Structures are given as structure tokens and as C-alpha cells.
Amino acid sequence: MESTEQIHDILTELKKMRLKRSDESQFSSKAAFQEWADVVDALLANYPDVRNTFRAKVDRVESCYRLRIPAADAENDAIGVLNKHVLALDLNPVVQSDVAKQPAGNHANKHAGGLRDVPPPTAYPWFQRPVGYVLLSAVAGLLATYIATKFG
């Protein structure tokens, strides 16, 4: 369990890590970004939903570096996740015991991290999933080809 003092200490450290968004990369190298991201990731350990969102943004930045494309937009997304969480904690510090009483899943830290509810992937029927789109497109293409060759 976290005490209010521990939350304050984490919040202080998170505030030190905040950056302003910029049109250009704020990191001198991939290693500099990774060092910043590692520290932020460790500080978000008690906020799993925010941490997972942050990790997804970090993965996107690392993909940009691997593809040798500008990473400033992706870095801004990661910076934004941190800044939003710091603001949310500033406005409403959540003690871990309060979070534990909430239902599990995407709702657990919704008010702390500002995350939206995302339905599980199985919530959609098969034809609304990527495989369904591909399958329906293939069938439609084969049908169009058959009609074109038979009657066209």
C-alpha cells in the first residue's frame, strides 16, 4: 500500500521527468530517450494502466528510431502520457488502497490516468476483426472476378 507521502514522493519525481512537447526531438540519441523512459516507467509501476499506455508509446518511439524516421511526434505522445498523469495526480492523488477497491481491468485507474475504456478484442463479431475484413475482401474479389469473366 502507498501512503500519501509515497505518492507525493513519486509525484515529485515524475514532475522532475516532465518535458514540454516540441516539434523537434528533445533527446540527443535513442539511448538518451531510453534512459528517460526507463526512469519514467519505473515511477509508473503503481499505475499499471498508465504504465502500459506509456510503454506502448515508448515502443512506437523505438520503432521510429529503428526505421530511421523522425521520432518527435512519437516522443511527444510518450511525454503527453507522463504529463497527463502528473496533472491527474496533482488534481486527485490516488492512494493505492483506493485503487485496489475498484474493479479490475481498464476501469482501475481510469480517473488517475485518464484512459478510455477499450473493449477486449473478442467483443467484436468475426467480420469486424482484421481477419474478417481480409476474408470478406477476398471473397468479394473472387466473386467480382468470376462475374467479370463469366458475364463480361
Cβ within 8 Å of residue 30, ≥6 positions away = 62, 65
Judge whether 27 and 1 are in contact, CB under 8 Å. no
Q: What is the pLDDT of residue 39?
A: 94
Whether residues 136 and 114 fall in one domain: no
What the block records as the C-alpha cell of 143 is 466473386
Whether residues 80 and 128 fall in one domain: no
User: What whole-number distance in Å separates Cα of residue 15 and Cα of residue 89?
Assistant: 10
Q: What is the pLDDT of residue 133?
A: 79
Whether residues 134 and 78 fall in one domain: no
Domain count, the chain: 2
Whether residues 35 and 104 fall in one domain: yes
Q: Which domain holds residue 149?
A: 122-152
Whether residues 91 and 69 fall in one domain: yes
Whether residues 86 and 49 fall in one domain: yes
Nearest 10 degrees: Cα torsion 120, 124, 127, 133: -40
Q: What is the pLDDT of residue 118?
A: 63
**Residue 107 CB: number of other CB atoms within 10 A?**
12
Q: Which residues in the chain come in under a pLDDT of 70? A: 1-2, 93-124, 126-128
Burial class from Cβ neighbours inside 10 Å (0-12, 13-18, 19+) for residue 123 reads exposed
Q: What is the pLDDT of residue 112?
A: 47
Whether residues 129 and 108 fall in one domain: no
Whether residues 70 and 134 fall in one domain: no
